[in-house]
Copies of this chain bind each other. A is one copy, B any other.
């Protein structure tokens, strides 16, 4: 309680008495409780609304009788606690020391049903006022602000009170605490029942990188080979067309693709090394090159933590710290740097240059996304994170924030480390960040654990804290590559030849964006080209007998005033799908959805065939 006072956290006026003492108090109404580690209220151990000292002593007798009935023994150490009765809506605040995020507050609705209701949110102890407000808004209980049942509830007051708990948890040697109820009063929050566990666990040291990972003028590829079934072959081949200077390294080879192949000790200074050699040679090679000034390492080789070799992986971390290196991986797919057209991955699909930086903890998800993106979505940078022995998400976000060619960042996450640095990097990012986090269900967590050797982490906490810090949380991996393109779209138009699918798409779209309200002038124009039964609204239902002519007429009016138009085509009786496809091709801001299969085999246009797939671009 002294700790709470230090941070100016209100507690009810209270007094404790020995079991035998006569009770007296000076603030009414008050509450009498037996001070014993039991569910007091469930055994008649609490009496509320006591209005006088006479009642107080009568209440004491009743409690003692109740305890006797429940066979609860009273001994000399037990005490009675009298507390000023504080009435109001019951909130909850707690603190947990999370493996990943360290000190995190849990805030929400309080009361005895807290475990059942789980109306809670997470708040980082470093969150500012705005973040705290965003966090509170995620709870149902936040609907009491600014007024509920005729009574005012002051959000700013609650935010200020939460800041006290942030300071308490940040500065004191507390491992966890919970306060339930934390009662809302006009003068602030009053902590009624307080439980504190001391002894904060040690924190992991996060090391900020001082060299850019994307300084790749001179690149050594260790393990470059002419054997086509080796990843060293694919990387060498992918790297060949780069503007960077590439040095192949392989003791058993003299030339590759017409270029000299070096032995490691022949190599002059390089800034970047890709390591695709047997795991037993990895550590010594890194140390050798680090001593010669190489700063960036991408370890493709597997055989570390994921195979149970935890010590070997620890040594990578040590090397990075000792020589001040960026070490990506091990067990990764490589990196891509658009500035130098430098593809240091062994992916098979081509990479188009663009503005999206893609970071992935799964090499397979990365190849799948690169394969889906090929020739369609352009990348500025790609980082396959692998086991993250050294270079982690926070490092990657800091790095990309300094890369002007990167305009958006997408991240596929399985498990996190260094949560505090990660949140800080999200907060500081000048670029929008899109996140997909795998491993929501218990079963999925088990699956993730078996394949990465990382615990997937508390899904809800990662999602909530990332969102509050400013990231966009996405619900499919495809969204990571397609949504950045449409990030600035605010309002969407739907054109359809059928009401039902228009209704369903409305449901799906409005989870992410607004439907554009069509103004009078546009409605008038549409009236002139559409049949009288058209919907007179967005979704623009141009009626089942629409042919390509009507699609064109509607789109000629809508395309110039719309950011993005989803056009639904269902195979109705009059539908001339092939002509419609020709029409749709002409509009840059049209996303075609042909809802069917049999009738659409002859269509020469890229389209979505399901509504759910189409909204993945949002």
Contact = CB atoms under 8 A, between A and B. Distances in A.
Interface of A: 39, 42, 47-51, 55, 58, 89, 109, 112-113, 116-119, 140-141, 143-144, 148-151, 229, 231, 234, 306-307, 346-350, 360-365, 367-368, 371-372, 374-375, 412, 414, 438-441, 443-444, 446-448, 450-452, 456, 476-478, 497-504, 506-507, 510-511, 515, 533, 535-537, 539, 541, 544, 570-574, 595-600, 609-613, 616
A347 to B, nearest CB: 8
Contact of A446 (B360, B537, B610): B537
23 contacts: A39-B150, A42-B151, A51-B55, A109-B117, A112-B149, A117-B119, A307-B533, A364-B498, A365-B501, A365-B570, A367-B572, A368-B571, A372-B595, A372-B597, A374-B597, A439-B503, A443-B506, A447-B535, A450-B535, A451-B535, A451-B541, A456-B503, A476-B611
Nearest to A374: B598
Given A307-B533, A450-B536, A571-B367, A438 B504 contact: yes
Contact of A349 (B141, B150, B507, B598): B598
Contacts of A444: 503-504, 506-507, 510
Contacts of A510: 441, 443-444
Contacts of A450: 499, 535-537, 541
A456 B306 CA distance: 52
B596 A371 contact: yes
A498 B414 CA distance: 13
A533 to B, nearest CB: 6
Given A441-B506, A598-B375, A570 B349 contact: no
A550 B431 CA distance: 42
Contacts of A307: 533
Contacts of A573: 231, 234, 346-348
Given A148-B116, A371-B598, A364 B572 contact: yes
Contacts of A141: 113, 116
A179 B574 CA distance: 55
A361 B503 CA distance: 12
A184 B48 CA distance: 20
Nearest to A39: B149
Contacts of A229: 574
Given A119-B117, A506-B444, A500 B438 contact: yes
A478 B610 contact: yes
B451 A477 contact: no
A570 B369 CA distance: 10
Given A307-B533, A349-B599, A571-B348, A51 B42 contact: no
Nearest to A85: B49
B365 A438 contact: no
Top 5 A-B pairs, shortest CB-CB distance: A364-B498, A451-B499, A362-B500, A371-B596, A374-B598
A72 to B, nearest CB: 12
A451 B42 CA distance: 55
A420 to B, nearest CB: 25
Nearest to A595: B368
A132 B372 CA distance: 47
A176 to B, nearest CB: 20
B599 A451 contact: no
A438 B507 contact: yes
Nearest to A143: B116
A234 B544 CA distance: 15
A499 B452 contact: yes
A412 to B, nearest CB: 7
A45 to B, nearest CB: 12
Nearest to A365: B500
B367 A439 contact: no
Contact of A498 (B48, B365, B497, B499): B365
A302 to B, nearest CB: 8
Contacts of A48: 48-49
A574 to B, nearest CB: 7
A567 to B, nearest CB: 14
A447 B537 contact: yes
Contacts of A348: 571, 573, 598-599
A446 B510 CA distance: 12
Given A117-B140, A367-B570, A149 B414 contact: no
A571 B371 contact: yes
